[in-house]
Amino acid sequence: MSLKIKNKSWNTTKTNDSWSLFKIMGEFVKGYEKMGSIGPCVSIFGSARTDPKNKYYILATETAKAIANSGYGIITGGGPGIMEAANKGAQEVDGNSVGLNIALPFEQNHNPFIDQDKNLSFEYFFIRKVMFVKYAQAFVVMPGGFGTLDELFESMTLIQTKKITPIPIILVGVEFWSGLIDWIKETLIDNKLISPEDLDLFSVVDTKEEVLQRINDFYSKEVYKPNF
């Protein structure tokens, strides 16, 4: 059977789509069981294309070291660039180094700095994003492209709409993020598309010390727990 919409057909014949629910459930179960046993972590987002000589790659490594030395695990998307840098920093100080992998055009293989028992692979983007959000005690956002922006704005939206517990969202690199922040202020706020207090959802810093200070200040008053 098919439907016609503007001279184009849509096949309504029964498919096996419903069976994919079991695969989806399996990925959730695997992710929840593994991530729930690791303890407090910080998710670090950033570009897969960042070269190891880039200042932000170096900063991501040093920031991850500082965070891991404070007792947090590090969660990344498991790929190259900033993700590799963050996993590298965690491993260099014997911190938990977690990689949530997915096959993408610029991320064909996981980086070598993920703990072997914490290297997870996902087929579904939305399940992978749930793991990033559910088990992170903070989001550290390094310079990146569409994927990084997607993760940043989804995290802010979930906190803004009270779908998850408020946690620190820390953008690293004042020079990189200043144009976006100006646009948010001059376009979104001026047109009343968001509230001025929504700017409190995130902070912008330049150093590893500032990142760690934001996290420590927050958890001096809060307890560690999954975000939903």
In a domain, 109, yes or no: yes
Query: What are the Cα distances from residue 36, in Å, to 32, 67, 132, 149?
Result: 6, 19, 12, 26
In a domain, 225, yes or no: no
**How many CB atoms lie under 10 A from the CB of residue 167?**
22
Using alpha carbons only, what angle is made at residue 166 by residues 162 and 170, rounded to the nearest 5 degrees?
130
In a domain, 227, yes or no: no
End-to-end C-alpha distance for the chain, whole angstroms: 41
Token pair for residue 201?
Answer: 């959802």
Residue partners of 21: CB distance under 8 A and separation at least 6: none
Q: What is the pLDDT of residue 107?
A: 56
Query: What are the Cα distances from residue 200, in Å, to 77, 79, 100, 132, 183?
Result: 26, 30, 28, 21, 16
Q: What is the pLDDT of residue 136?
A: 97
Q: What is the pLDDT of residue 109?
A: 77
Q: What is the pLDDT of residue 148?
A: 97
In a domain, 64, yes or no: yes
In a domain, 144, yes or no: yes
Structural domains in the chain (count): 1
Q: What is the pLDDT of residue 47?
A: 97
Q: What is the pLDDT of residue 25?
A: 96
Q: What is the pLDDT of residue 16?
A: 73
Q: What is the pLDDT of residue 73?
A: 97
Give the residue among 137, 127, 150, 124 at the shortest CA–CA distance from 46: 150
Rounded average pLDDT per 10-residue block, the chain, 228 residues: 65 74 95 96 97 98 98 96 98 98 73 96 94 97 97 97 96 98 98 97 98 97 91
Q: What is the pLDDT of residue 19?
A: 85
**Enclosing domain of residue 159:** 39-219
Q: What is the pLDDT of residue 3?
A: 61
Residues comprising the chain, all counted:
228
Q: What is the pLDDT of residue 182?
A: 98
